[in-house]
Amino acid sequence: ATNKLWGGRFEASGDENIDAFGASINFDQLMAAEDLQGSLAHVEMLQDTNIIPETDAKQIIQGLKSLQQQLAAGKLKFDTTNEDIHMNIEALLTKEIGPVAGKLHTARSRNDQVATDFHLYLKKRLPKIIQAIQELQRVLVTKAEANIETIMPGYTHLQHAQPISYGHYLMAYFYMLQRDVERFEFNQQHTNLSPLGAAALAGTTFPIDRQQTTRKLGFDKPYSNSLDAVSDRDFALEFLSNAAILMVHLSRLCEEIVLWSSYEFGYLELSDQYSTGSSIMPQKKNPDMAELIRGKSGRVFGDLFGLLTVMKSLPLAYNKDMQEDKEGTFDAVKTIIPSLKILAGMLDTAQVNSEKMAAATEKDFSNATELADYLAVKGIPFRQAHALVGQLVLEGLKTGVTLQEIPLSKYQEIMPEIGSDVYHDLQSKIAVERRQSLGGTSFAQVKYQIAEAKKILDKI
Ligand code: ARG
């Protein structure tokens, strides 16, 4: 036998490099609190089912509670020779209470233990993630409300398309994030299953009470199949895909923040608190944080792909490959929460240059659709109206004359029915105001969206 916890059937110790290579303690110590929590629920159940004597159980409970206190005080020291958090805790417990600690692992395996810890870890973080998304949503709604009548160019292909309300633009991100919230909420259902009691893979001969540990740990229900319980990482994959989609959203918003704080756009000015300078160019004020969030989307996508690839060919049930499930997941949690917080602060403190936004819609042709619509209302088939306006735009681009500047006499040559009211429709503010269709950019529709959003946020 060797001196490992599992050393009984071994004659020789491992190669000197394998301890370090195989160990996960450097990262899975992040689940120390969850491991203790899981062990406490397990030992209380072992006591209540008389699987181990009450006096032993009491000692173990006391020992685990003492370890909880030491952990909270930052006094627990972990060690790579004990491989992972589970064996480190068991070793520490043994130091604390002696060999009776060995009874804790009755009717349990590290396979259901690690799965339990990992479920508990995410179960605890998901509400925090949802909360951080909602904080960003609140900022978006507040800013949207302040900017219902702020006019800006709406883009397709990054070319001026039609004028829109800046509030409308912000609300698009609100709804995107709402779908993220819903995805993470759904993610909670699959995270709230208890693997504890699946043991190594097949269940156990001991008369354990899985319902009790399920309740004790705050899970909704136990996994129905022990093989599935120890080999499922869907809850983490779902989390990572949700995180990846969330980062797509944050990255798109950050891309626009970067563009809009450039000299050429000048729509936004970030506060000093959320900007950085250059070590050589004294004039610089860089949107580093927006760029970094955009960049960090890459690592979260990597986290998702890492775990998908780890899982894709694993035979049932547990395989050591699955130890690779944690770092990427921890990394994604560690990335998305601060990204959300920084972005919320950045948007909250950014200065909106509404004149510059509106001016960008004055001298362009983003009101061309208005003119085509006007002609269509007068009875010209829309296709023909589109072609006519297209010609006017081409001419205007050559001569530097905007659609508002074309004299009425010229319009009436094209079509006598055109009246001076055409100039009213051509104003970008009016173009926005008139887009009253459901979900459109009109001020009334944006207000409607804001009211709906507040109802969603108030329910929290
Ligand atoms: N450290 C391991 C992991 O993270 C714990 C489970 C080990 N189980 C085993 N049979 N080797 O997956």
Tell whether 245 is covered by a domain: yes
Ligand 1 contact, 231 CB (< 6 A): no
Domain harbouring 99, CATH code: 1.10.275.10
User: Helix (H, G, I), strand (E, B), or coil: what is residue 454?
Assistant: helix
| Stretch among 11-20, 174-183, 254-263, 399-408 having the lowest mean pLDDT | 11-20
Domain match, 348 and 244 both = yes
Tell whether 2 is covered by a domain: no
User: Helix (H, G, I), strand (E, B), or coil: what is residue 161?
Assistant: strand
Q: What DSSP line would sit under 47-116, residue for residue?
A: HHTTSS-HHHHHHHHHHHHHHHHHHHTT-----GGG-SHHHHHHHHHHHHH-GGGGGGGTT--HHHHHHH
Q: Which of 67, 137, 139, 132 is nearest to 104 (CA)?
A: 67
Residue 417's pLDDT band, with cuts at 50, 70 and 90, is confident
Is the complex ipTM higher than 0.90? yes
Rounded CA separation 403/362 (Å): 10
Domain match, 157 and 290 both = yes
| φ, ψ for residue 152, nearest 5 deg | -145, 165
Q: Name the residue with higher pLDDT: 5 or 151.
A: 151
Query: Which tokens go with 173?
Result: 């991100």
Ligand 1 contact, 77 CB (< 6 A): no
> 133, 177 in Cβ contact below 8 A?
yes
What distance in angstroms lies between residue 179's CA and the mean position of ligand 1's atoms? 34
Domain match, 396 and 343 both = no
What distance in angstroms lies between residue 23's CA and the mean position of ligand 1's atoms? 9
Domain match, 373 and 354 both = no
pLDDT at 169 over 80: yes
Domain match, 178 and 324 both = yes
What distance in angstroms lies between residue 320's CA and the mean position of ligand 1's atoms? 6
Domain match, 342 and 393 both = no
Amino acid 459: pLDDT: 81
Give the residue numbers spanning the domain of 324. Answer: 111-358
Instruction: Tell me if the pTM is above 0.90.
Output: yes
Ligand 1 contact, 267 CB (< 6 A): no
Amino acid 8: pLDDT: 87
pLDDT at 323 over 80: yes
pLDDT at 336 over 90: yes
What distance in angstroms lies between residue 308's CA and the mean position of ligand 1's atoms? 18
User: Helix (H, G, I), strand (E, B), or coil: what is residue 165?
Assistant: strand
| Stretch among 175-179, 376-380, 443-447 having the lowest mean pLDDT | 376-380
The C-alpha torsion from 216 through 219 and 222 to 223, rounded to 10°, is -150
Amino acid 176: pLDDT: 98
* Most ligand 1 atoms within 8 A of CB, residue of 6, 39, 84 to mutate: 84
Query: Which tokens go with 450?
Result: 């804001």
Work out which ligand 1 atom sits closest to the CA atom of 83.
1
Tell whether 417 is covered by a domain: yes
Last residue of a domain, one of 340, 358, 376: 358
Q: Which of 118, 128, 108, 93 is nearest to 34 (CA)?
A: 118
Ligand 1 contact, 180 CB (< 6 A): no
> 10, 4 in Cβ contact below 8 A?
yes
Query: Which tokens go with 98?
Result: 């002696």
Amino acid 415: pLDDT: 84
Domain harbouring 116, CATH code: 1.20.200.10
Work out which ligand 1 atom sits closest to the CA atom of 318.
10
In the chain, what is the straight-line distance between the N-terminal and C-terminal CA atoms, in Å? 57
pLDDT at 16 over 80: no
Ligand 1 contact, 75 CB (< 6 A): no
Amino acid 7: pLDDT: 85
Domain match, 331 and 248 both = yes
Rounded CA separation 355/360 (Å): 8
Amino acid 280: pLDDT: 81
Amino acid 375: pLDDT: 93
Question: Average pLDDT over the chain, rounded to whole?
Answer: 96
Q: Whose CA is nearest to atom 12 of ligand 1?
A: 323
Last residue of a domain, one of 106, 141, 161: 106
Rounded CA separation 423/411 (Å): 11
Q: Whose CA is nearest to atom 4 of ligand 1?
A: 323
* Mean pLDDT of the region 135-143: 98
| Stretch among 79-83, 261-265, 328-332 having the lowest mean pLDDT | 79-83
Domain harbouring 430, CATH code: 1.10.40.30
pLDDT at 37 over 90: yes
Domain match, 415 and 454 both = yes
Tell whether 70 is covered by a domain: yes
**Contacts for 260-263: CB closer than 8 Å, 24+ residues apart:** 261/287, 261/290, 261/350
Amino acid 300: pLDDT: 98
Q: Whose CA is nearest to atom 3 of ligand 1?
A: 323
Domain match, 408 and 307 both = no
Domain match, 123 and 86 both = no
By annotation, the residues acting in catalysis are 157, 278
Structural domains of the chain, count? 3
Per the rule left: phi > 0, alpha: psi between -120 and 50, beta: everything else, 113 is alpha
pLDDT tens-place string over residues 191-239: 999 999 999 999 999 999 999 999 999 999 999 999 999 999 999 999 9
Rounded CA separation 290/286 (Å): 9
Ligand 1 contact, 110 CB (< 6 A): yes
Ligand 1 contact, 88 CB (< 6 A): no
Residue 249's pLDDT band, with cuts at 50, 70 and 90, is very high
Tell whether 48 is covered by a domain: yes
Domain match, 225 and 125 both = yes
Rounded CA separation 321/239 (Å): 19
What distance in angstroms lies between residue 413's CA and the mean position of ligand 1's atoms? 82
Amino acid 172: pLDDT: 98
Domain match, 242 and 391 both = no
> 264, 289 in Cβ contact below 8 A?
no
Amino acid 198: pLDDT: 98
Percent of the chain at pLDDT exceeding 70: 100
| Stretch among 60-64, 331-335, 388-392, 456-460 having the lowest mean pLDDT | 456-460
Ligand 1 contact, 323 CB (< 6 A): yes
Ligand 1 contact, 111 CB (< 6 A): yes
Last residue of a domain, one of 106, 140, 165: 106
Tell whether 363 is covered by a domain: no
Residue 399 burial (CB < 10 Å; 0-12/13-18/19+)? Answer: exposed
Sign of CA dihedral 41, 43, 47, 49: positive
